[in-house]
Structure 1
Amino acid sequence: MRKSIATVSLSGSLSEKLTAVAAAGFDGVEIFENDLIASPLSPEEVRARAADLGLGIDLYQPFRDFEAVPQDTLDANLRRAERKFAVMERLGADLLLVCSSVSPAARDDDALAAAQLRRLAERAEAHGIRIAYEALAWGRHVSTYDHAWRIVREADHPALGTCLDSFHILSRGSDPKGIEDIPGEKIFFLQLADAPHMAMDVLQWSRHYRCFPGQGSFDLAGLVGHAVRAGYTGPLSLEVFNDVFRQADAGRTAVDALRSLISLEESAQLASPPAPVVPSGFAFAELAAVDTEPVRLLLGSLGFTRTGRHLGKPVELWEQGDARILLNTAGADRREGPALVALGLESPEPAAAVRRAESLLAPVLPRRRTGEDVPLDAVAAPDGTELFFCRTARADHADWTDDFAPVADRPGRDAADAPAAGITHIDHVALTQPWHHFDEASLFYRSVLGLQPKESLDLADPYGLFRSRAVAGADGGLRIALNVAPGPGDQEVRPQHIALATDDIAATARRIRDHGAGLLPISDNYYDDLEARYDMAPGALSTLRELGILYDRDEYGEFHHCYTATVGRVFFEIVQRTGGYRGYGAQNATVRLAAQHTAEHRGGASR
């Protein structure tokens, strides 16, 4: 279907918005009146600019507080409308959005509203313009889509139809199935926005917290399906009021917006892009560092062994069980120290995974390689993390580890003699997102990789709050926690982390501690509280206290975890899941963050 977006959804000037929308690949735009009013471009210049970019102007909006008013107000409203029709003719727009009135002067009289809207439609028809009447969720007398449709039906004019807005329908809890009772030719326009469930005034909810399809909690695929079954054939158009989007780069916001519509079409069974190829686990995590010695010592203390050196690049392979860490000295940021820059994702079909990523507008990264290098495709996640699609040790696909020559030495001073610590694989990774990319990242991992997003959580930090949302495969083979700092710049000082799985966390923690890795000290108060909350086996609590291990449980099982000190922008978490535990120990995040702040201020973390 044709894809459109309202200019209010993006930051920048009107000209910049049009450029971003066209570059992303949209077919058309809704021109928000304030954008035109503020623009130095005349309506004719805007029309020409849109045409040059290959964009249609699908809607001009909004026209407010028109219907069910006294005669003198109606006369003024019709004069106002005539002037707007003249602007629309210059603009080349032939559809005007009229919102249900919120004016105190409006009367609760459907017959009067229908008669006056008919008069407006008659005026509009003379200019070759149609009117799309929309029920605002906070309309004074008309606040539901079925009520708006009854008025349109009573007005009975070919130039008058209805506009359906997903936010106004779903935020009120209205049943969208009734959309199928509206003749498709009378649905003049369909506006789409998602939103998280929030207990707040609907106007404030609408004005600040809308998001793109797939980033919130609404069933937009179901609503679109009802409209299509009713016979709607117009554009799928995004109208999103969001404080973050209005500050973010318009170009990447427009790409994120179009990705959401492509994914929505797939969910509504209106299109069939290449199917998602869900990764089954982690092939590797890659750290970049100018000074590798601190990371080498930490990896050695964790029981990792350096097993390979890349044949053509300054990259080392460290392994323990099925956990693999790449240590890269090329392109590292000298200011930050070690940082997590790339993830290798085990994929059953790497080529198909790339095709899926391209269809969802994920940037495929060029890879500089010699003729001897194993082909390995990568895409960029919203935060810049490189995601490689791999198949490790499979006879039917090139193995990326073939790029590494075996090494016999095990560098690292005291850590050189550390035995394996019982680590089996990478359980999950936590990626701190730039504050204005959090929703984009959630949609990216869901739509591009086919991961399932969990509920977003607000977690307390000693210096504020941060949001966290996990995405995971249905079988839990791949888990990624997406975190976002409270505001601009804060993500630059918040480390990423890699969680390593073990089957015996107490034994693993002791081996790590005994071979030089400092585990994060946890407050005694935490264990006093733990004792109050859980009836634990004798001696279990003292073991947790001794080793700095935190504890959580859910309906499926138990979770034990502990942390290393932070090196640069990276630290490691050691985790043990028993009985099918599905979470990430989120209730312990506040304790961990406070302990990290304390360790940093005491010089216990290296930055």
Structure 2
Amino acid sequence: MHASIATVCLSGGLEEKMTACAEAGFDGIEVFEPDLVASDLSPEEIRARAERLGLTLDLYQPFRDFEGVTEDLLEANLRRAEARFEVMGRLGIDTVLVCSNVATATIDSDEVSAAQLRRLGDLAQRHGVRIAFEALAWGRYISDYRRAWRIVELADHPAVGTCLDSFHILSRGHDPAGIEEIPAEKIFFVQLADAPALSMDVLSWSRHHRLFPGEGDFDLPAFLAHVVRTGYSGPVSLEVFNDTFRQTAAGATAVHAYRSLIALADQTARREGRTDQLPTVPESAPAAGVDFVEIKAEDTTEVEIVLDQLGFAFRGQHRTKPVRLWSAGGARIVLNEQYARDLPPHVAGLGLQYDDVASAEARTAALGVTRVPRRMQAGEQRLPAFATPHGLELFFAERTRAGEPGWVDEFEHGLRATPEPDGVVAVDHVNLMSTWEDHDETVHFYTGVLGLEKGRSNQVASPHGLVRSRVLRTADGAVRLPLNVLPASRTQPTEHVALSCPDAIAVARRARERGMRLLPVPGNYYDDVRARFGLDPAFVERLREHQVLYDRDQQGEFLHFYTRQIGRLFIEVVQRIDAYDGYGAENAPVRLAAQSRLDRDGR
């Protein structure tokens, strides 16, 4: 597969974009005309620069509003086209994207449009150029790729073919299966973009909300599979208009884009058995569980107090690093004060268990994820580490089916872990934060690279605005990572670790006896929860006494409570009853309001 990308996807000037694309691994680029016009490099210099970088110049775009016009306007359009073809000759580009007319078309006739494209083909052929005709989703008369193909067929010209763009096809709900009826030699170019499912005018949707593959709701593996089945072997290119990507560093966005394209190709190749036509990366099963959570701070004393109140045992100090381990059941919390000057407590790392660490490591590395260097001494267990787009460090560990992982033995002078009755037994989920700039890339990282499933995007009301949230998880729920984006008004992100237990009220009671001040829940909440669920008054009083919240759905019940915030961190303890699989989302506004009051009042 020849991997390409449109320069419109990236921020910066044309030179910067070209360098970023080459360093990310792309084979070629589409030159977006405004990028060329704004560049102080001549077409010849751009061509030479591409050769030095090892990039091909695959497409010149866009050429707009050509077909379906009167004769006098057609003549003007042909003069305009010839000027573009001359520039393309200087660049060494042999394919131009011609978009269906959205502004000046006045003739709704396939025959007229075909005849005009035929004349354009004659002119293009004299310049050694091919015409890739594309149906824009908002084209005045031609908005369906199947109609665009019929017109290309009618034009019957060797220099006139079609361009297939996933956004223009899938945003209109058109069936992409018809792609397979187009001969491969008449598909001159293929462009890919994902997008979230939105209800808005398609032009605004296209111009501001496209995403890289795997980040939205389009079925791009199925789309690409239809293309592959035709025998198409030309460039597969990303064309993503997105306000965020055009504000972030070109290098980082290009790496993000390339990873998404290769992950899509790998997914499609394996799904379709086309590993000979599309690039693949090593396969890996998703993580089998959470091995540990790393909390980093200059001083982790307050976190240790909370862990002790929750029934955790101090397991010792690492023999070579300023790192301590606490555990309760299968929940392990690593406290790290190394390189943490002035940092408040926050979730800095997450250990994931795999049945085959080597495969997980190979896949992650093959997709260009940055490794995190980790100092090791003799006798220490190797834990491959990678950096996520939102700053968390991920560690890969071998799954332990019985007993504790081997790295626990590196911690000395601690206490034996004695399970408490009905106490904490495991990490239920880790609630993470991302900025609005890196949210989509982060979602793709966990799904496209690590193989987690992507839940629906939700919004939760807080005193500072809406919090956008999406759960990333394994199918069996062994790993659950709710990912939140805070409102822009909140500059201090918060994260939390949720611990599972068989009796949340018992854990809360013991924690309070040990001096814990839980997050206060207003009395109005308990009046409401009693009315909504018809709960026994005595049970509601027990919930109220221990500041435990409640939820219920058709699958089961959910009890949970929160510690107060420590730095950027707080801890949640949860009890899932029967098959309850949610996260108490209805209670999130209560929790957010309570935290806001404490933050405001300084308590």
User: Normalising by the residue count of structure 2, what TM-score does the alignment of the two structures yield?
Assistant: 0.95
What is the identity, as a one-letter code, of the residue corresponding to 2:233?
T
Q: Which residue of 1 aligns with 2:568?
A: 569
Q: Which residue of 1 aligns with 2:120?
A: 120
Q: Which residue of 1 aligns with 2:308?
A: 300
In structure 2, what is the Cα distance between the partners aligned to 1:455 and 1:522?
A: 28
Do structure 1's residue 278 and structure 2's residue 277 form an aligned pair? no
In structure 2, what is the Cα distance between the partners aligned to 1:432 and 1:566?
A: 15
Do structure 1's residue 493 and structure 2's residue 500 form an aligned pair? no
Alignment equivalent of 2:375, drawn from 368, 377, 398: 368
Q: What displacement does 1:419 show?
A: 6.5
Q: What displacement does 1:203 show?
A: 0.6
Q: Which residue of 1 aligns with 2:449?
A: 448
Q: What displacement does 1:396 show?
A: 12
Do structure 1's residue 513 and structure 2's residue 512 form an aligned pair? yes
Distance 1:396 1:449, change over 3 A: farther
Q: Which residue of 2 aligns with 1:403?
A: 410
Q: Deviations over 1:36-61 (max 9, x none)?
A: 11112111111111111111111110
Partner of 1:519, secondary structure, is coil
In structure 2, what is the Cα distance between the partners aligned to 1:275 and 1:105?
A: 49
Distance 1:245 1:420, change over 3 A: farther
8 Å Cα contact 1:556-1:579 kept in structure 2: yes
8 Å Cα contact 1:7-1:17 kept in structure 2: yes
Q: What displacement does 1:554 show?
A: 3.0
Q: Which residue of 1 aligns with 2:389?
A: 382
Q: What displacement does 1:14 show?
A: 1.1
What is the identity, as a one-letter code, of the residue corresponding to 2:547?
G
Q: Which moved more, 1:357-366 or 1:184-193?
A: 357-366
In structure 2, what is the Cα distance between the partners aligned to 1:516 and 1:331?
A: 31
Q: Which residue of 1 aligns with 2:557?
A: 558
What is the identity, as a one-letter code, of the residue corresponding to 1:353?
A
In structure 2, what is the Cα distance between the partners aligned to 1:105 and 1:375?
A: 65
Q: What displacement does 1:420 show?
A: 7.3
Q: What displacement does 1:104 show?
A: 4.1
Partner of 1:343, secondary structure, is strand
Q: Which residue of 2 aligns with 1:146?
A: 146
Partner of 1:364, secondary structure, is coil
Aligned residues: 595
After the TM superposition, which residues 169-208 of structure 1 pair with which residues of structure 2 at under 5 Å, given as runs? 169-208=169-208
8 Å Cα contact 1:166-1:192 kept in structure 2: yes
Gapped regions of structure 1 (runs ≥ 5): 411-416
Do structure 1's residue 427 and structure 2's residue 435 form an aligned pair? no
Q: Which runs of 4+ in 1 moved over 6 A?
A: 394-398, 417-421
Partner of 1:500, secondary structure, is strand
In structure 1, what is the Cα distance between the partners aligned to 2:419 and 2:286?
A: 36
What is the identity, as a one-letter code, of the residue corresponding to 1:508?
V
8 Å Cα contact 1:195-1:215 kept in structure 2: yes
What is the identity, as a one-letter code, of the residue corresponding to 2:528?
D
In structure 2, what is the Cα distance between the partners aligned to 1:528 and 1:15?
A: 63
Q: Which residue of 1 aligns with 2:585?
A: 586
Distance 1:350 1:549, change over 3 A: same
Q: What displacement does 1:90 show?
A: 1.1
Partner of 2:280, secondary structure, is coil
8 Å Cα contact 1:374-1:398 kept in structure 2: no
After the TM superposition, which residues 247-286 of structure 1 pair with which residues of structure 2 at under 5 Å, given as runs? 247-269=247-269, 270-286=278-294
Distance 1:418 1:161, change over 3 A: closer
Q: What displacement does 1:524 show?
A: 2.2
8 Å Cα contact 1:163-1:189 kept in structure 2: yes
In structure 2, what is the Cα distance between the partners aligned to 1:397 and 1:569?
A: 29
Gapped regions of structure 2 (runs ≥ 5): 270-277
What is the identity, as a one-letter code, of the residue corresponding to 2:305?
L
8 Å Cα contact 1:320-1:420 kept in structure 2: no
What is the identity, as a one-letter code, of the residue corresponding to 1:551?
Y
What is the identity, as a one-letter code, of the residue corresponding to 1:468?
S
Q: What displacement does 1:113 show?
A: 0.7
Partner of 1:518, secondary structure, is coil
Q: Deviations over 1:176-221 (max 9, x none)?
A: 1111111111011110001111111111111111101110111111
8 Å Cα contact 2:372-2:385 kept in structure 1: yes
What is the identity, as a one-letter code, of the residue corresponding to 2:525?
Y
Q: Which residue of 1 aligns with 2:6?
A: 6
Partner of 1:30, secondary structure, is strand
Q: Which residue of 1 aligns with 2:222?
A: 222
After the TM superposition, which residues 524-543 of structure 1 pair with which residues of structure 2 at under 5 Å, given as runs? 524-543=523-542
In structure 2, what is the Cα distance between the partners aligned to 1:556 and 1:470?
A: 18
Partner of 1:255, secondary structure, is helix
Do structure 1's residue 469 and structure 2's residue 470 form an aligned pair? yes
In structure 2, what is the Cα distance between the partners aligned to 1:42 and 1:156?
A: 35
Distance 1:35 1:448, change over 3 A: same
Q: Which moved more, 1:139-148 or 1:275-284?
A: 275-284
Do structure 1's residue 316 and structure 2's residue 316 form an aligned pair? no
What is the identity, as a one-letter code, of the residue corresponding to 1:479?
R
What is the identity, as a one-letter code, of the residue corresponding to 1:257?
A
Q: What displacement does 1:105 show?
A: 4.1
In structure 1, what is the Cα distance between the partners aligned to 2:494 and 2:392?
A: 14
Partner of 2:519, secondary structure, is coil
In structure 2, what is the Cα distance between the partners aligned to 1:396 and 1:273?
A: 33
Q: Which moved more, 1:13-22 or 1:398-407?
A: 398-407
Q: What displacement does 1:582 show?
A: 1.6
Distance 1:301 1:129, change over 3 A: same
After the TM superposition, which residues 11-26 of structure 1 pair with which residues of structure 2 at under 5 Å, given as runs? 11-26=11-26
Q: What displacement does 1:395 show?
A: 8.8
Q: What displacement does 1:13 show?
A: 1.1
In structure 2, what is the Cα distance between the partners aligned to 1:70 and 1:388?
A: 64
Q: Deviations over 1:416-443 (max 9, x none)?
A: x997770011001011112211010111
Q: What displacement does 1:557 show?
A: 1.8
Do structure 1's residue 599 and structure 2's residue 602 form an aligned pair? no
Do structure 1's residue 243 and structure 2's residue 243 form an aligned pair? yes
What is the identity, as a one-letter code, of the residue corresponding to 1:285?
V
Q: What displacement does 1:276 show?
A: 2.2
Distance 1:329 1:566, change over 3 A: same
In structure 1, what is the Cα distance between the partners aligned to 2:279 and 2:55?
A: 21
Partner of 2:380, secondary structure, is coil
Partner of 2:456, secondary structure, is coil
What is the identity, as a one-letter code, of the residue corresponding to 2:364?
A
8 Å Cα contact 2:288-2:399 kept in structure 1: no
In structure 2, what is the Cα distance between the partners aligned to 1:80 and 1:384?
A: 48
Distance 1:110 1:498, change over 3 A: same
Q: Deviations over 1:565-587 (max 9, x none)?
A: 01011100111111122222222
Q: What displacement does 1:528 show?
A: 2.7
What is the identity, as a one-letter code, of the residue corresponding to 1:344?
G
Partner of 2:40, secondary structure, is coil
Q: What displacement does 1:553 show?
A: 2.6
What is the identity, as a one-letter code, of the residue corresponding to 2:161?
G
Distance 1:205 1:184, change over 3 A: same
Q: Which residue of 2 aligns with 1:91?
A: 91
Partner of 2:96, secondary structure, is strand
What is the identity, as a one-letter code, of the residue corresponding to 1:514?
E
8 Å Cα contact 2:262-2:280 kept in structure 1: no
8 Å Cα contact 1:26-1:258 kept in structure 2: yes
Distance 1:82 1:267, change over 3 A: same
